[in-house]
Amino acid sequence: MTCSYNRVKGCGSLSPRANTFDSLWLQCISLSGFRIFPEKESALVPSYHRPASIDEALRLKADLGPAAVFLAGGTEVNNHGSARAEALIDLAGLGLDTIQPSPEGLRIGAGGTFQQIVEHPDTPWYLEAAALQMANRNIRNRATVGGHLAVNRSCADLIPVLLAAEARVALVDREVALEDFLCGQQGLILSVLVPMTARGFGLGNMTRTAADISIVAVAASLNLDGECLRQPVLAVGGVAAHVVRLHDVERALDGSPLPTRENLESLVSQAVHPIDDHRGSAAYKRHIASVLAGRALADAVRRLVIR
């Protein structure tokens, strides 16, 4: 299906990974989110395409080039100052919106929404809690997991807990660790596998308002051997170009009891490198990240102890 739209605004945000639209599940526009600007022709999206298969979607992307963007939930593209999309490739009819438990874990289709995650009976508590951190119900009804990962924002709400769960991303031709995907791998996202695990989890975030995206978001997971932490994972958003694992902190904690709050906050503070922006100063973000990380790790330990 191909058609043209007149008087419809569709702006696309550039991926933090590159100044192009090369990410293959990218800034997705919802038809219900279109805004009308009859006098601003430069903001119009010239064409809309609805492929019947993944192969057709990939062919369209190859034919239309980097100015064509894939369309899913639409919560990221309609931003002021965003680059203009020449064409939209709508992925809504490709069956990518399922959430299915499997022996490997919970497989979330790239078109699955945050609200689907919240409401699914097999969603573990920590994934549900992270999904609920995303803005408000209206956004959660539209925002998709695939779009969230492809946009790869520094302040992403779901990515820290997915990293803490050691999730994997299924692309058209391969499956990769989420951390590797965030560091620059490209491809059309089909699904995300969240392994089921007995690890303890903790998470938290800080926002300016209840309906805003996070300034800083943190998630931790770990095992316990007596009082010693084993294989801890600590992921933080809002302190780098994209959500990162603090590997130096993880190595320092592995095999040792949970440090005092002061020592733990000092470790995290030295490991993060935020910037000043309209959401807060670098010093503020560094402080919040260290406090939230300490709380998340302590909560992960507590949840294992009380089982």
Q: What's the confidence (pLDDT) of residue 185?
A: 83
SS3 category, 252: helix
- Residue-wise pLDDT tens digits, 140-199: 999 999 999 999 999 999 999 999 999 999 999 999 999 999 998 889 999 999 999 999
Quick one: 204 exposed, middle or buried, by C-beta within 10 A (0-12, 13-18, 19+)?
buried
Question: H helices within 221-260, ranges in order?
Answer: 247-253
Work out the average pLDDT over 121-131: 97
Q: How many whole angstroms separate alpha carbon 45 and alpha carbon 64?
A: 13
pLDDT at 1 over 80: no
What is the total count of domains within the chain? 3
CA distance 62 to 272: 38
pLDDT digits 0-9 by tens, 200-257: 999 999 999 888 889 999 999 999 999 999 999 999 999 999 999 999 999 999 999 9
227's tokens: 């009082």
Contact present, 43 and 84 (Cβ < 8 Å): yes
- Whether residues 65 and 116 fall in one domain: no
Q: Judging by beta carbons within 10 Å of its beta carbon (0-12, 13-18, 19+), is residue 128 exposed, middle or buried?
A: middle
* pLDDT-based confidence at residue 283 (cuts at 50, 70, 90): very high
- In this structure, the chain runs to a length of 307
**Beta partners for residue 177, in sequence order:** 168
Quick one: pLDDT at residue 43? 57
* 140: containing domain: 99-195
Residues 74, 51: one domain? Answer: yes
Whole-structure pTM value = 0.85
Single out the residue in 137, 172, 195 at which a domain terminates.
Answer: 195
CATH (domain of 145)? 3.30.465.10
Question: Of 170, 195, 220, which marks where a domain is finished?
Answer: 195
Distance CA 96, CA 90 (A): 12
Does 109 lie in the same domain as 78? Answer: no
Which residue, among 20, 30, 282, 7, has the nearest Cα to 144 in the 3D structure?
30
At 75-91, the pLDDT tens digits run 876 655 456 678 999 99
| Cα 158 from Cα 140, distance rounded (Å) | 11
CATH number assigned to the domain comprising residue 271: 3.30.390.50
Q: What phi-psi label fits residue 29: left (phi over 0), alpha (psi between -120 and 50 degrees) or beta?
A: beta
Same domain (yes/no): 172, 262: no
Going by pLDDT thresholds of 50, 70 and 90, the confidence category of residue 3 is very low
Task: Kindly tell me if the per-residue pLDDT of 14 is higher than 80.
Answer: no
The answer to which of 27-31, 48-52, 69-73, 259-263 has the lowest mean pLDDT is 27-31
Are residues 121 and 188 both part of a single domain? yes
User: Which of 90, 111, 133 is where one domain is finished?
Assistant: 90
* Helix axis angle, 261-271 to 282-305, nearest 10°: 130
